[in-house]
Amino acid sequence: MGTLEEIQSEAWALSIFKRIWQRLKNAFLSLQTYDVLSPDFEQRRQVNRMLRDRPALSLPKWYKAYYQPSSIAPSVAAFAYSYLKKYSGLGIARVLPGDRLEADLHWTEVCWFDWETRLCEDFWQCFGTDLSDRLEDFHPYTMADLLEFLNCQIPQNSRFCKDNKSDNIRL
């Protein structure tokens, strides 16, 4: 048997080893989780390659060409133009209103796993409107659907928007 000092020294070394092992294990698990939660970067590159064949419009031109005719508020278009690029990594300046989020843009594959949460937080910061409850039940098909949904969440725009549960216009 060792002395008390030797036993304490061994116990200390063992506790250090356990902490180091736990950190290595956590780092490994984090790498596995990161892969699951991160975008599909190859899919993102493919979509951006497809979008490169289109002109990249400035925000004013993008708004005027695609969203002004639909009565989308300029602030909503500006929000989408800026923030959707951050979530997806796609060249939003080249995205058309009729682009299907999943079939054409592979939206859920190219975005970070938490893009909807970030959208809700950013929309709250910009417009003071909480989307979280409404976004859960809304599944936009196209980019135009997403922008119309966002536009309708701003109180002053809502009286001109379609009800998401029907084709009736809310008055």
* pLDDT of res. 24: 63
Is there a domain that residue 49 lies in? Answer: yes
Q: Residue 12 belongs to what domain range?
A: 1-37
Q: Are residues 94 and 28 in the same domain?
A: no
Is there a domain that residue 43 lies in? Answer: yes
* pLDDT of res. 2: 66
Q: Are residues 121 and 51 in the same domain?
A: yes
* pTM check: above 0.75: no
Average confidence (pLDDT) over 92-117: 95
**pLDDT tens for each residue of 28-74:** 555 555 455 688 999 999 999 999 999 999 999 999 999 999 999 99
Average confidence (pLDDT) over 78-93: 96
* pLDDT of res. 163: 44
Structural domains in the chain (count):
2
Query: Tokens 């058309």 sit at which residue?
Result: 96
Q: Are residues 80 and 52 in the same domain?
A: yes
